Structure 1
Amino acid sequence: MKKRRVRLFQIRGELDQTWYTAGVAGIFLLLLLGWSLMSYGQWVERTFLPTPDQVLVQLMKQLGSSDFWNHIGISVYRVGMGFLLACILGIPLGILAGTFRFAESIVVPPTEFIRYMPATAFVPLIMVWAGIGEGAKILVIFVGCFFQLVLMVADNARAVSNDLLQVSYTMGAKRWQVIERVLIPALLPDLMNTLRLIIGWAWTYLVVAELVAANSGLGFAIMKAQRFLNTDLIFVGIIVIGLLGLITDRVFAYCHKRFFPWLEGRA
């Protein structure tokens, strides 16, 4: 017992899969227990906090509805397009800023300044500039992801060992060969982790994006349910967004493990 206790509370120590699984299951059971006590015990009025079985029944009902699947599809499309646009523009800028000091002086200061501005503050401007169509909703998610992505990719590029780059020069590589064949491959594992974080932020901005005169999407379904105090439907929308976010997170985690297996021991 003593050895097991030391292992559990050892800083950065290894943990048996059994204990890890128990921890994951335990925290979810604890949350479910607290929710059940407050709802079934009527500590909170069920109009404001539905019971777990009410939410489960509503979830099954919605999953059997084509309209709900349409909401899921359009939300996935908006998140995917906003994230993809941020990657297309943000990754090259981040690599440049992390590689060349001159590019850093141009890119990083304004990006550092803008990233502290909440994406919600840009919604009125986005509606003026892009209207209220799909482009505006995608643009909100883009704004929420882009500036963070640029800075994080720049940090990934700076984290590549300078000794590795100098060795490449010594072996006769030219500047762009060093970037293409050494720097970019070396930062890819950290870049994958960065993208994994950014896609999570993209999902958090979904409801904000769908406030822009939306008539479809999970965020719209949540806001519509709020107007009629359908809290069970609100819970369903939140849970589905969480599950979709978890699926994308697991996809990135799998890709990291699949493409960079030599890093698993280090992690």
Structure 2
Amino acid sequence: MSTRCSPSSPGSSAPCGTRGPGCRRYSTVLADPRDPAPCDVDYWVANLRRPVRFSQAVRAAADDGHRVFVEVAPHPTQLHPLTETLRDAGADGSLILPTLRRDTDDAITFRTSLASLLVRDVGVPTPLQGPQQGARVVDVPTPRWRHRRFWAGEEPGPHEAPRHAPARTRTRATGPLDRLRGCVADVMGYTPDRIDADTPLTDLGLDSLTAVRIRTAVEREFGVRVEPGVLLRQATLRGSRICCRGVGRRTGGGGVEVGAGLPTGRGRSPR
């Protein structure tokens, strides 16, 4: 790779704080996979410039007696190369598992792999045995995508700048469909006009974490209970069957009317 990818001088890169790993590390960057070199600026520059030493790192782990490998990724892409490398290394009986798989329920897939570890007597840390005592789990903000069309010979329309505006600056919708569209837009980073009522939300990039956030937003907006998982079943805004508990069809104020699978919010003033 070109030397242009290297810092022009030793002081040209900002310092990068490092600390030692909490478990044994096998690097795919360094000539010796077992090298305990810190993950500082030089390490990450080498990570960009050098070839990936995948088989060397896997073989080193196998030579040290490791037989359990878990690929932490939204979809497994290294299970086959792991299997082939371990077979060539003579590491018979190795257990290779993913954490997630595309087009499957994340919770079921993750727990299935976790169960596979448990039944094979692999030590799995409990929540109280995490690497940071006293730490708490927090949600990572979803990407705020700016959906803009850049096509040769075309100029973005006036409604496309910016792609999403802060929720507090939008005119509050009053219709049930528009209010539902607003909930989805606020969570997924779209402008409401970019969300077609007949497009499955999964086609817009909906995943299980985003579905939970949309469900929370809808329940807060309409004061209803949404059936878990309903948004992930190829649901569209117009055709979603948002099942509410303890809420019936009413014609007067003080309740929520559910028609065509969508809450209308009747009897509750829009915020």
Question: Do the two structures share a fold, i.e. TM-score over 0.5?
Answer: no
Bigger-Rg structure (1/2): 2
| Structure holding more helix per residue | 1
| Structure holding more strand per residue | 2
TM-score (norm 2): 0.22
